[in-house]
Amino acid sequence: MLAREYAKKIMCLNDEKCDSCIKFNANSNPDYQEILPDGKTLKIEQVRKMQEKIAEKPIISTRKVYVIDDADLMSEEGQNCLLKTLEEPPEYAVIILIVSNESKILATIKSRCVIVKFEKLSDSEIKTIMPNLDSNFIKILEGSLENAQQSEEKLEQYKSLNKIVNVIENGTKTQLFTETDLLYDSKDDIISLLEYLNIIFFEKRWINCVEIVEKTKRKILANNNYDMCIDYLLMHCYEAVNASK
């Protein structure tokens, strides 16, 4: 997001109504290009193609901007190929590398870049930006607004977990398996749901349940039978919470 906004700003000719900005907003500015991984890697052919295009002068703006996303997925060969351009880039060209794992980038590449680090946002910062989010919900976002945007679409799922907690605490064993369909039907999202469930358990000081959730997560990640993992989770949490009643 920052790379795009920065590119738009430096390519702007006078104001946001200029031809460069209009075409940028329409994703049709020929002087801006995002290079994305081809499958699981960034291939050297993609780097070479960029080098061919970068040699051509800008068409609309006075600058050309190339954003290489997931640049840490480039092979060493690809990075060495890119190095030639970084050493002597055209005066109108700006290259932005977006990286998740800086250790995979060659020192010779890093030495020719201005490094801007992004830290996780604090819970209070996210709350300021998105004040309608529940405090427990914010705790599972790991300081990322992108996670917030993706998870917000599933907010109703997270809210439903409070109903499941209520069943564990106040319901019957019959309800335990008839009113907890969310967990059985959410195999693709189960790890994030269990992490949210653990936040609720921790606030209730149900430490035994936190341990049960962690064990359930390990079982699921080890490809144990999914429904049996959820059975294990619900039954053991129910027994842990109601043992003293």
| 165-183 per-position pLDDT tens digit | 999 999 898 888 888 898 9
C-alpha–C-alpha distance, residues 86 and 98, integer Å: 15
On whether both 10 and 106 belong to a single domain, the answer is yes
* Residues 182 and 222 both lie in one domain: yes
Residue 66 lies in a domain: yes
What long-range pairs does 119-127 form, CB within 8 A, spacing at least 24? 119/143, 120/144, 121/145
CATH number (domain holding residue 42): 3.40.50.300
76 lies in the same domain as 143: no
Together in a domain, 105 and 6: yes
Domain boundary among 99, 133, 152: 152
- Look at the chain and report how many structural domains it folds into: 3
Residue-wise pLDDT for 123-160, tens only, equals 788 778 777 776 766 776 666 666 666 555 566 777 78
Q: What is the pLDDT of residue 91?
A: 94
Residue-number span of the structural domain to which 94 is assigned: 2-110
Q: What is the pLDDT of residue 17?
A: 83
DSSP 29: -
pLDDT mean over 65-91: 93
C-alpha dihedral, 14 to 16 to 18 to 21, nearest 10°: 120
Dihedral sign for Cα 182, 141, 195, 159, please: negative
